[in-house]
A and B are shown apart, each in its own frame.
Chain A
Amino acid sequence: MSEMWINMGPQHPMTHGLWNLRVHIDGERILDVDPEMGYLHRGIEKISEDRHYNEVITLMDRTCYVAGMAWEHLYVQAAEQALGVQPPERADWIRMMSDEFQRLASHIMWYAAFVQDLGLMSPFLYGMRDRDLILDLFQSYTGGRLTYEYMRVGGVRNDLPEGFTGRARQVLDWMEPRLVEYDRLCMGSDIFRRRCDDLGVLKADECVRLGVTGPMLRSAGSKRDIRKDRPYSRYAQVEFDVATADSADVTGRYLVRMEEMRQSIRIVRQALDWLDSHPGPVLADRLPRWLGAPYAPIGREAYLLKRNYPKGVGLSAVEEPHGEACAYVVNEGGEHPYRVKFRSPVFANLSAAKSYLVGYHVADIPPIMGSVDVCVGEVDR
């Protein structure tokens, strides 16, 4: 009699999006869970097959709406490999800087939502206030606050506006003491520690077995970070440390994300220094016409680019704020990609839900799922 299946979702404060967690409970104890996805499925992989290469970038912002830059970066890298296009160096640095600003914004968003799930209202407001400063920066050079459509196959759309690096440094200077304040609010609170310690434990070997990546894996002591292991963009040229913790629980994930924010600030500062002293083009000039080259190639070259564009396959992986994201782009010589496949980190992290929820209480679900940092847009795609 006390055993039953209940639905948490699709409308539930815990879900942070639109999905349904079916929970099999015995009293307060969780016996089994079954995440039910698909409420936000838009068929992005299918729509991509019907769009020009650059038009897919619009969809990428919608894939994860709190980490749009990371997904744009993922896709343009794979498309560049498939098409054989090389971005200019300055564009690569701007992309990396955008990625890290996005990581900062995404983690602050996570922090705000996560602590609100625990019942702390003020950190939520602090988080939203500080995130807005980063969105203002994004707006100043992309025009968008969440959906940027900024990166292009072969570079980025436009260069940074005048005085941008100075404004960006101001935001970072403001942000650094704020992170200390965030940390004091949580780690200084005995209630927070009692609530989060030894909750939702998932050890490193289990993480690897179940495909769990990102802060969840690093909170279990693993140092796996694609930015270090397989440096893309300009990550090999900047200094930063991989944040890890060893408790593998909710507190561990909290500590990893907090440290990642500090490391992101460190990376952005180095990128800003480089951008200050290295002006240059931000979009490759040898592009097929349908990719939006700044000027159309002429004569024989134009003919070749139009008629016999070489086939190719592109594969890229980036360390998105939630974990390892991969893209696989198949170019069959047409104006549209033949097939685009994305690997979403949250998809894999959610598929392991059974192993970090079973055995805990129903009231533990919001903090645990909060520490997973679910973004439904990229799970359903």
Chain B
Amino acid sequence: MNTEQVRGALAAAGVAGVLSVDPFEGIAARVRFDPTSATGVFTAVRDKLGFVHLSTVGGIDWVERYEVFYLLWSDPAKSYLLLSADLDAKNPHIETASFVWPSANWHEREAWELVGIGFDHHPDLRHLLMPDGYQFHPLQRAFKLHEPEELEVKVRHV
């Protein structure tokens, strides 16, 4: 699958909220979309374009904005697709993809705790790698590697 095919398929499906479809070396395309119409884009990409496997969800802190990206794979097309959306720096949040791709569950938990991106209506947004009650988001640029953190860990009650 190439960029033109992705563009054509998205146009044919009439998906609202797609901002741009750009070429990306080695994969089908990079699709930028509007975070307010996330669920519509996810569903269309899965059902109309056939990207049923979600590889990962990640976030990037660009200081003036946040970016969240989804890496998808389609078996018939034998190619990857990258979805990305720019989020507001003040309160970065986007609708969860866990109901479209259940595998997004843990990836979103990780992106939430490490990058600080909120996933609305996530079924289980708990800490995954960091201890419960951890106050920081280590993958944000403001989190400096060489400064000691003041850490208060709440005891987990089982």
Contact = CB atoms under 8 A, between A and B. Distances in A.
B106 A348 contact: yes
Interface in B104-139: 105-107, 114, 127-131, 138-139
Contact of A341 (B25, B56, B129): B56
A211 B101 contact: yes
Contacts of B127: 38
B54 interface: yes
A209 B158 contact: no
A330 B60 contact: yes
A317 B56 CA distance: 12
Interface stretch (A44-52, A107-115, A137-145, A295-303): A44-52
Given A5-B158, A210-B103, A328-B71, A315 B80 contact: yes
A117 interface: no
Given A46-B139, A230-B79, A326-B71, A351 B105 contact: yes
A211 B78 contact: no
A348 B106 CA distance: 8
Contacts of B145: 46-47, 49-50
A275 interface: no
A209 B102 contact: yes
Contacts of A46: 138-139, 143, 145
A230 B53 contact: no
B27 A211 contact: no
Given A41-B129, A326-B71, A211 B55 contact: yes
A224 interface: yes
B26 interface: yes
A208 interface: yes
A347 interface: yes
B139 A38 contact: no
Contacts of B143: 46
B75 interface: yes
